[in-house]
Amino acid sequence: MKANLPNGLDRNRVLHQVTVDRATEREADSPGKIRPRHRFFRKQLVLPAEHGSWSWLLIPYFAGVLVAGRLNLPALLVLIGGLAGFLVRQPALTYMRIRAGRGRKADGPLAAFWAAFFAFVALVCFVGLLILGRVELLWLLVPMAAILTLYLAASRQRRLNMRTLWMELAGAAGLSAMAPAAYIAVTGNLSSIAWILWGFMAGQNVSSVFYVRARIADTHHRPVNRSLVLWTHLAILLAVTPFVLSGSVSWLAIMPFVAYVVRAGWVYSSERPVKNIKSFGFREIGVQSLGGLFIAAGFLI
């Protein structure tokens, strides 16, 4: 009898951990055949299982750079530091799982090394930004602390589906902070543009969470709250519309959200299973990239 696996990205985490355990067992069975580089760097222990989350970080970053108008050393430090901070999570969670007795002890030193390495790189980049005079970035720590609190609170939810949803939403909103961080790093100023840009990119990331979860649920024939998906997209569209009406950004910035509402309505009307998960993931990254370009253009034109 097959065990029921969790839905969406949390299901991927379960399968990801099974892959880690099996890879480790193979290493233990044939130690003489393992290349040194495989012992030092194993992507199952180091890289995040949620491949789509890369776009939640990188697309806002490049949108921030485009709106700022150029690329400089502080912006590069934000990119390197942001990536390092993003990569801390997987080895850190692996190490914590091992400490709790839910992982192979042999993986502990490797996971601890990579977690410490990424944390060190992120810290060096942050100190470098402060030395270069980008102290305005400290203001981002206040909302980021609130998002982290939400993430930790969500992780304690007993209902698996609600836990993963709120953790994904907090992660999507937090990673979109790369947009204002990149803008501040380039310009050296904390203006309203940075905050508005964060809001637009967070809205795009959050809409992606609901859309992807609905499509994956349809693929596995699991129940979906279609009304929640549609109303969330409509709420995001209504939230960004005043900035267009006030002239803070041009109509180009709102076009992606109109398109997202249309596709949310498409999902609302009927089940929309995914034929090929990998192709679907790449298409979603492409859609989000195009949306990021429109949003950035809306701030420039």
In this structure, is residue 3 part of a structural domain? Answer: no
Question: Is 41 domain-assigned?
Answer: no
Per-residue burial over 250-289, b if 16 or more Cβ lie within 10 Å, else e, is bebbbbbbebbbebbeebbeeebebeeeeebeeebbebbe
Distances, alpha carbon 58 to alpha carbons 97, 129, 270, in Å: 28, 19, 32
Contacts of 265 (CB under 8 A, 6+ apart): 230
User: For residue 241, what is the domain's CATH number?
Assistant: 1.10.600
The pLDDT assigned to 37 comes to 45
Identify the domain containing residue 256 by its residue range.
Answer: 46-300
In this structure, what token pair is assigned to residue 85?
């901070």
Q: Which residues contact 173 (CB under 8 A, 6 or more apart)?
A: 147, 202, 205, 206
Q: Domains in the chain: how many in total?
A: 1
Block residue for tokens 């109509």: 251
The percent of the chain in helix, strand and coil, each rounded to the nearest 5, is 80, 0, 20
pLDDT (tens, 9 = 90+) of the chain, 301 residues, equals: 444 444 544 555 545 555 545 554 454 444 444 444 446 767 777 777 666 788 999 999 999 999 999 999 999 999 999 999 889 888 888 888 787 777 777 777 888 888 899 999 999 999 999 999 999 999 998 888 888 787 777 666 666 666 688 888 988 999 999 999 999 999 999 999 999 999 999 999 999 999 999 999 999 999 999 999 999 999 999 999 999 999 999 999 999 999 999 999 999 999 999 999 989 999 999 999 999 999 999 999 8
Report which of 298, 269, 281 is spatially closest to residue 54, judged by C-alpha positions.
281
Identify whether 30 is part of a domain.
no
- Evaluated on CA atoms 211, 212, 213, 216, the torsion sign reads positive
For residue 155, the model assigns a pLDDT of 67
Q: Is residue 170 part of a domain?
A: yes
pLDDT of residue 231: 98
